[in-house]
Amino acid sequence: MTYAGNTLAAEAAGLAPPSQLPPSRLPLSALLALAVAGFITILTEALPAGLLPQIAAGLAVPEALAGQLVTLYAVGSLAAAIPLTLATRGLRRRPLLLAAIAGFAVANTVTALSGHYVLTLIARLLAGVAAGLLWALIAGYAARMVPEHLKGRAIALAMVGTPLALSLGVPAGTFLGALAGWRACFGLMTGMTLLLMLWVLRTVPDFPGQAADRRQPLLRVLALPGIRTVLLATLGFVLAHNILYTYIAPFLREAQLGDRVDLVLLVFGAASLLGIWITGVLIDRWLRQLMLASTLLFGLAVLALGLWSGRPAAVYAAIGLWGLAFGGSATLLQTALAKAAGEASDLAQSMLVTAWNLAIAGGGLLGGLLLEELGVTAFAPALLLLLGATWGLVWRARAAGFPPAGGEHRA
């Protein structure tokens, strides 16, 4: 068969044509473009929290209403991830990726220029919708660019933008906002987004969408071996993380470190970077062991915070362990899900986006209830229960979900 015939046959089957077969080594530039997309996504989501007083003054609303800019973003992600992924499975991948990135350019431009609160809320909702689609694409896109034995490392590199945004981007954006104003920060993100679109066009390969006869219904994908296990593990781990992360300030006040929140989060961010580096090096051989170790490390950190919260050195050490455990968790969970889902990876990833955002919302709600009713001393027992259940779930998932190396389920 001719090259053109091979190409048509491959695209009809929903596979990459011969010119786009995965390389034998990591396509660094393309994966870093995906990482920058993740960086912009997280920065767009989290930056309003660091600029809340300035945004409230600029839009002439109370800080409580300005805080809803974060809420609407999460609502957009939660509501859009699964429906948009289902609706776009047949579309070519690079134009779809560019459309999701363009959503941030539009939303951040409107946010930078708008003087109306409701219009700004609509822009934030659009940004959340773009984020829901983008997060559903990134892991599957990264995995599709490389051979099987490099999938975990590729996803780890594509996800490095997340800890970088949390540890460096948000503090830098907050500092810039104090100097140049919050609107300048969102304008700068628009400029970054436009440059990223050019980068994607130059370096990220295009792939066909999934052929109609190969698309599996949502419930059938959910029923694949290992999918529900990974989603439940995501809920447990991320819920525990967000209870502590959302209410870290009141926790630190009780530990007499209320004025060192910035330093504590810097320690967390630096340890997260180390965690994602370790994950990237080891994930393709030790995914199961890394997930078990991350959950155990997080549990030890929580135990130390519960027992020695009055000792600053112990608190900093525990925060470092927590960051180390959390840094690679998104990569571990996304890689496990991609392996379990096979060709249905994008749809499965949209379920993970939904589970992750439910855990974020649940962390704020459950953490708030614990804080109001029992105080921060209730955090450690509650988190240990969640992490213990998560560890047991991962431990039992040897057949599918978190199998030993070489035992991955083939969907």
State pLDDT tens for residues 84-109: 888 888 889 999 999 999 999 999 99
Is 325 found in the same domain as 280?
A: yes
Is 123 found in the same domain as 97?
A: yes
Pair 104, 3: CB distance under 8 Å = no
Pair 261, 252: CB distance under 8 Å = yes
- Among 185, 214, 243, the domain-final residue is 214
Query: Could you tell me which residue, 215 or 225, shows the higher pLDDT?
Result: 225
CA 345/CA 206 separation, integer angstroms: 17
- Among 184, 214, 244, the domain-final residue is 214
Residue 191: its pLDDT value, please? 96
pTM: 0.77
Structure tokens at 141: 């896109």
Residue 322 lies in a domain: yes
Residue 2 lies in a domain: no
CA 369/CA 9 separation, integer angstroms: 56
Dihedral of alpha carbons 33, 95, 43, 296, sign: negative
- Among 157, 185, 214, the domain-final residue is 214
The chain-wide mean pLDDT, for the chain, equals 84
Number of domains making up the chain: 2
**Quick one: residue 16, left, alpha or beta (phi over 0 = left, psi -120 to 50 = alpha)?**
beta
pLDDT exceeding 70 applies to what percent of the chain?
91
Pair 347, 341: CB distance under 8 Å = yes
CA 33/CA 202 separation, integer angstroms: 10
212 pLDDT higher than 90? no
Residue 54 lies in a domain: yes
Is 259 found in the same domain as 209?
A: no
Q: Which domain holds residue 243?
A: 218-396
Is 86 found in the same domain as 72?
A: yes
CA 32/CA 81 separation, integer angstroms: 23
Q: Residue 111 sits in a domain of what CATH number?
A: 1.20.1250.20
CA dihedral 126, 128, 130, 134 (to 10 degrees): 180
Residue 225 lies in a domain: yes
34-74 tens-digit pLDDT: 999 999 998 898 788 777 778 888 999 887 788 778 778 88
